[in-house]
Amino acid sequence: MTDMTVSGSAPEASQMPEKRVWRDIGIKRRYAAERRFKTYGLVAVLIGLACLAMLLFSVVSKGYTAFQQTSIRLDITFDKKIIDPQGQATSNNRVLLMANYPLLATRALAKTLGVDESDRKVRRELSGMISNGVRTQLRDMVLNDVAIIGKTRTIWVLAAADVDSAYKGQIDLSVDQSRRKVNDQQVEWMNKLAGEGILTGRFNTGIFLNGASSRPETAGMGVAMIGSMYMMAIVLVLALPIGVAASIYLEEFAPKNRWTDLIEVNINNLAAVPSIVFGLLGLAVFINFAGLPRSASLVGGLVLSLMTLPTIIIATRAALKAVPPSIRAAALGIGASKMQMVFHHVLPLAAPGILTGTIIGLAQALGETAPLLLIGMVAFVADFPATPMDPATALPVQIYMWANEAERAFVERTSGAIIILLMFLAAMNITAIILRRRFERRW
Amino acid sequence: MSTTTILSIVLVLAVVAYVLGRTTAKRRAAASGTRLHSREGYYGSFALLWTIIPSLVLLAVWLLVSPAVIDTAVRDSFPEHVKAETQATQGLAMGMVDSIARGLRRLDEQEMTRVTAGFSALRPVLASKGVALAGDGEDYMIDAAIQLNGWSDASRLWMTICVIGLALAGLLYAVWRIRPEVRARNSVERAVLVALIGASAIAILTTIGIVLSMLSETISFFRSVPAMEFFFGTVWDPRFAATVGTTSSDGQFGLIPLLAGTVYIAFVAMLFAVPIGLFAATYLAEYAGPKFRAFAKPLIEVLAGIPTIVYGFFALVTVGPFLRDLSADISGIVTGNATSFIQAQSVLTAGLVMGIMLIPFVSSLSDDIITAVPRAMRDGSLGLGATRSETMRKVILPAALPGIVGALLLTASRAIGETMIVVLAAGVAARLTINPFEPMTTVTVKIVNQLTGDLEFNSPQTLVAFALGLTLFFITLGLNIYALYIVRKYREQYE
List, run by run, the mean pLDDT of 10-residue segments along chain A (443 residues).
46 56 80 93 95 94 87 84 72 74 84 79 82 84 80 85 84 78 82 83 84 83 92 94 94 87 86 91 87 87 94 93 93 93 93 91 93 87 85 91 83 91 93 85 70
Sheet holding A199-203, edge to edge: A152-158, A68-77, A199-203
- B336 burial via Cβ count (<10 Å: 0-12, 13-18, 19+): exposed
Closest CB from A37, A270, A363 relative to B203: A270
Q: How many CB atoms lie within 10 A of CB B437?
A: 16
Q: CA dist A73 to A100, A184, A194, A399, B246, Å? A: 19, 21, 10, 30, 57
Measured distance CA(A149)–CA(B267) in Å, rounded: 67
What pLDDT is attached to residue B240? 59
**What is the per-residue DSSP string for B293-304?**
HHHHHHHHHHHH
CA distance A438 to A351: 12
Q: Which residues of B touch A290 (CB under 8 A)?
A: none
User: For residue A409, which of A104, A40, A66 has the smallest C-alpha distance?
Assistant: A66
Q: Which of B38, B189, B202 to mutate to test the interface with A (most CBs of A within 10 A)?
A: B202
Q: Are B213 and A313 an interchain contact pair (Cβ–Cβ within 8 Å)? A: no
The residues that bridge with A32 in the sheet, in sequence order, are none
Q: Which helix (H) or strand (E) holds B206?
A: helix B184-224
CB-based contacts of A61, cutoff 8 Å, min separation 6: none
How many of the other CB atoms lie within 10 Å of CB of B113? 9
Task: Write out chain B residues lying below 8 Å of A417, CB-based.
Answer: none
Cβ neighbours around B307 below 10 Å, total: 22
Which CATH code of 2.60.120.260, 1.10.3720.10, 1.20.950.20, 3.40.50.720 fits the domain covering B248-494? Answer: 1.10.3720.10
* A43 in contact with chain B, both atoms CB, cutoff 8 A: yes
Q: Please state, in angstroms and rounded to a whole number, the distance separating the CA atoms of residues A425 and B2.
A: 39
E strands present in A193-351: 199-203
B387 vs A41: CB contact, 8 Å cut-off?
Answer: no
Crossing angle of helices A297-322 and B184-224, rounded to 10°:
130
Q: Which residues of A touch B64 (CB under 8 A)?
A: none
- Nearest Cβ partner of B296 from A49, A254, A279? A49
Mean pLDDT in each 10-residue stretch from start to end of chain B (495 residues)?
Answer: 88 93 90 86 91 92 87 81 74 78 74 67 69 67 81 90 93 90 90 92 87 88 85 80 48 87 94 94 90 90 92 92 89 81 88 94 89 88 92 89 88 92 86 86 90 71 89 92 80 57
Going from N- to C-terminal start, the domains of chain A cover 70-204, 222-439
Q: Do B447 and A280 touch (CB under 8 A)?
A: yes
CA A363 – CA A353 distance, rounded (Å): 16
Q: Which of B260, B51, B45, B266 is nearest to B165 (CA)?
A: B51
Query: DSSP secondary structure string, A241-276?
Result: HHHHHHHHIIIII--SSHHHHHHHHHHHHHHHS-HH
| Contact across the interface for A246 and B418, Cβ inside 8 Å | no
CATH 3.30.1330.200 fits A222-439, yes or no: no
**Quick one: DSSP state of residue B493?**
G
Query: 10 Å Cβ neighbour count for B398?
Result: 11
What is the b/e burial string over B83-98, where b = at least 16 CB atoms within 10 angstroms of the residue's CB? eeeeeeeeeebbebbb
- How far is the C-alpha of B289 from the C-alpha of B283, rounded, in Å? 10
Strands (E), B206-253: 236-237, 252-253
* Residues pairing with A201 in the sheet: A70
A76 phi and psi angles, rounded to 5 deg:
-95, 125
Tell me the C-alpha to C-alpha distance, in Å, between residue B386 and each of A33, A53, B282, B284, B381.
Answer: 12, 36, 16, 19, 6
Determine the 3-state secondary structure of A126 from DSSP: helix
Cβ distance A369 to A414 under 8 Å?
Answer: no
**C-alpha pair distances (Å), B206 with each of A281, A359, B202, B210, B481:** 9, 22, 6, 6, 17
Cα–Cα distance measured from residue A10 to residue A101, given in angstroms and rounded to the nearest whole number: 115
Q: How far apart are CA B392 and CA B396, in angstroms?
A: 5
Query: Chain B partners of A44 at a C-beta cutoff of 8 Å?
Result: 275-280, 283
Chain B interface includes A348 (CB < 8 A): no
